Amino acid sequence: MNAILKTSDNDNVVTCLRSLYKGDEVVADGLTFVVKEDIPQFHKMAIKDIKKGSPVLKYGQVIGLATRDINSGDYAHVHNIESTRGRGDKQEAVK
């Protein structure tokens, strides 16, 4: 079984189908990524560098904005992503 799931060419994060650990290597789009920190099963890992304030894309959709720079291989979750879904004050940011 693949360790990660990427569903859209535009995604900059993938879903981890099993727990990943610092130093593990995973492959997406023919590229190898080194996991930079432990990531729980079904959480997200960045596969592209995402600058602070930039959209985070999963399933080809914006799921939030990076609250700090997120590097390829980093754990991507609430500590570095701010959700824009269901927030009337953030709707303008995701257009």
Residue carrying structure tokens 């590229």: 31
Residue ranges per structural domain of the chain:
2-81
- The helix (H) or strand (E) run that includes residue 83 is strand 81-83
**CATH, domain range 2-81:** 2.30.130.110
Q: Give residue-wise pLDDT tens across range 37-94.
A: 999 999 999 999 999 999 999 999 999 999 999 999 999 999 999 998 766 665 555 5
Q: What is the dihedral of CA 68, 84, 36, 14, to 10 degrees?
A: -150
What is the value of pTM for the model shown?
0.86
> Which tokens in the block code for residue 63?
């799921």
